[in-house]
Amino acid sequence: MTTLNEWDKKHFIHPTSSIQEQQANGPKVIFDKGEGIYLTSKDGTRYIDAMSSLWNVNIGHGRKEIAEAAKDQMEQLAYSSCFSNFSNEPAIRLAKKIADLAPPSLNAVFFTSGGSESNDSAIKIVRHYWRIQGQPERNKIVALRRGYHGVSAGATSATGIPEFWDMAGSLMQGFIHAKSPYEIGTESSIQSIREVIEAEGPEKIAAFMAEPVQGAGGVLIPPKDYYKEVRKICNEYGILYIADEVITGFGRTGKMFGVENYGVEPDVLSFAKGVTSGYFPLGGVIVSDHVHNVLKEKSEGVLFHGFTYSGHPTGAAVALRNLEILERENLVDNSSKMGGELQKGFKSIKGESTIVGDIRTLGLLGAMEFVQDPLTNKRFPAELKVAPRIIAALHERGVICRAVTYDNTDIVCFSPPLIITKTQIDDLIAILREAVLSVQQEVEEQLAA
Ligand code: PMP
């Protein structure tokens, strides 16, 4: 263990992590085993993985049949390229399967290795769509503040959380952010989108891009009518609508896709994470029949966009087996039912606590917000670090969760595996109650001192 800790500090630069913290304390946990909703560390401590790791291990850890599907495919054909119209059976079958599961008008799939690549692909596809129709100036992307779309060039530029911009030095041109419904409410957010479009000139806008539920921004769930209004604006100005379903796709929100909660269909939908439940890095973009028809009719020569692993046969075999499990075990339905249980649990804690503000769930995507005064929604001073302390208190008690603290918010996010049972939700809620009440006591003492 000591050797692994030292090697981690010396040789491993972690993604989205504090290097100072790593150098001071070493890796937080070295995970060794996963089974169902649980992760076990090398020293034998068991944790509830209340985030499905990174919102992705939807079918839970340790599924032997996924390992078998990967092994069988690797023995048959581990990898071959899909460039230059070469193909392979699992990739074809997966494209067909995803088209069957997606909203009716979305039927053609471009594959990537993850969410950021999917969003960069979506951005390039919509710009290409306008270019081949003789409107190359239609290249701007309107996105939302607090949106998260990944860390590659286009995805970073579309992301509406400034903390992610600094490392890029400069962002790609042509990205504008409207205010989110979380910040200013539905009507004002719709107005903000309209103002941005009018200010830039609608004839310069290629697409509007947003997550059905903003995940990394703090599980911010827009009201029911929000996306109908967004769709209306897009139609009015002839702008395409890209839904980033990297988190919300494949059952997370209690529906197969997040947009189904809002009764809308996007022109382009990006996905990753839940398509393989994290067992293989794979993502993609589904385009509508309309967009596909334009590409088929107007695209000349080679489409100069593709990743080495676009259409990876082993990844596709893993995804196919994962989706088979999702359907066989009715996990989308379970996500909806257990989401209701999670909401009930949150409510009971809010009833007992003086520091719980807004609580929200959509399927098994949930958040609890912490505030100094729930009546006025007055936030805690940032230096009290309330959400990170709740995360630490949960960690001590064997639950892995995630805090969001942008713009002085204290949000704790939940995204447990879709296989979670009522008893396991009860366990999670019992631990959460203890963690919240213990941090509440500390914070109240601190504020009184
Ligand atoms: N979009 C959304 C909505 C995400 O949550 C994420 C990752 N958390 C991404 C895109 C980026 O995906 P990846 O990390 O696989 O590149």
Q: How far is the CA of 307 from the centre of ligand 1 (A)?
A: 17
State which of 53, 220, 247 you would mutate to test the pocket of ligand 1, scoring each by most atoms of that ligand within 8 A of its C-beta.
247
Question: Which residues lie with the beta carbon below 6 Å from any ligand 1 atom?
Answer: 54, 114-116, 119, 148-150, 211, 215-216, 244, 246-247, 272
Q: Is 261 left (phi over 0), alpha (psi -120 to 50) or beta?
A: alpha
Q: Which atom of ligand 1 is nearest to the CA of 55?
A: 8
- Strand 283-288 and strand 356-362: the pairing is unpaired
Tell me how far the alpha carbon of residue 255 is from its chain's centroid: 15
Contact of 434 with 69, CB cutoff 8 Å = no
Q: What is the pLDDT along the chain (449 residues), one digit of tens a residue?
A: 689 999 999 999 999 999 999 999 999 999 999 999 999 999 999 999 999 999 999 999 999 999 999 999 999 999 999 999 999 999 999 999 999 999 999 999 999 999 999 999 999 999 999 999 999 999 999 999 999 999 999 999 999 999 999 999 999 999 999 999 999 999 999 999 999 999 999 999 999 999 999 999 999 999 999 999 999 999 999 999 999 999 999 999 999 999 999 999 999 999 999 999 999 999 999 999 999 999 999 999 999 999 999 999 999 999 999 999 999 999 999 999 999 999 999 999 999 999 999 999 999 999 999 999 999 999 999 999 999 999 999 999 999 999 999 999 999 999 999 999 999 999 999 999 999 999 999 999 999 98
Q: How far is the CA of 90 from the centre of ligand 1 (A)?
A: 24
State which of 246, 252, 285 you would mutate to test the pocket of ligand 1, scoring each by most atoms of that ligand within 8 A of its C-beta.
246
Predicted confidence (pLDDT) per residue in 260-277, tens digit? 999 999 999 999 999 999
Predicted confidence (pLDDT) per residue in 402-441, tens digit? 999 999 999 999 999 999 999 999 999 999 999 999 999 9
Report the nearest-CA residue for atom 10 of ligand 1. Answer: 149
Phi, psi (deg, nearest 5) at residue 432: -60, -45
Q: Which atom of ligand 1 is nearest to the CA of 115?
A: 12
Q: Which atom of ligand 1 is nearest to the CA of 150?
A: 11
Q: How far is the CA of 432 from the centre of ligand 1 (A)?
A: 26
Contact of 160 with 217, CB cutoff 8 Å = yes
- Strand 240-244 and strand 268-271: the pairing is parallel
The half-sphere exposure of 123 on its side-chain side, counting CA atoms within 13 A, is 27
Residues 6 or more apart whose CB falls under 8 angstroms from that of 79 comprise 312, 313, 314
Q: How far is the CA of 44 from the centre of ligand 1 (A)?
A: 30
Predicted interface score ipTM higher than 0.90: yes
| Angle at CA of residue 389, ends 387 and 220, nearest 5° | 15
pTM of the model: 0.98
Q: How far is the CA of 138 from the centre of ligand 1 (A)?
A: 25
| Angle at CA of residue 359, ends 356 and 361, nearest 5° | 155
Q: How far is the CA of 308 from the centre of ligand 1 (A)?
A: 19
Structural domains of the chain ordered from first start: 36-59+330-448 (3.90.1150.10), 64-328 (3.40.640.10)
Q: How far is the CA of 155 from the centre of ligand 1 (A)?
A: 9
State which of 17, 58, 116 you would mutate to test the pocket of ligand 1, scoring each by most atoms of that ligand within 8 A of its C-beta.
116
Contact of 364 with 104, CB cutoff 8 Å = no
The residues that bridge with 288 in the sheet, in sequence order, are: 106
Q: Which atom of ligand 1 is nearest to the CA of 273?
A: 15
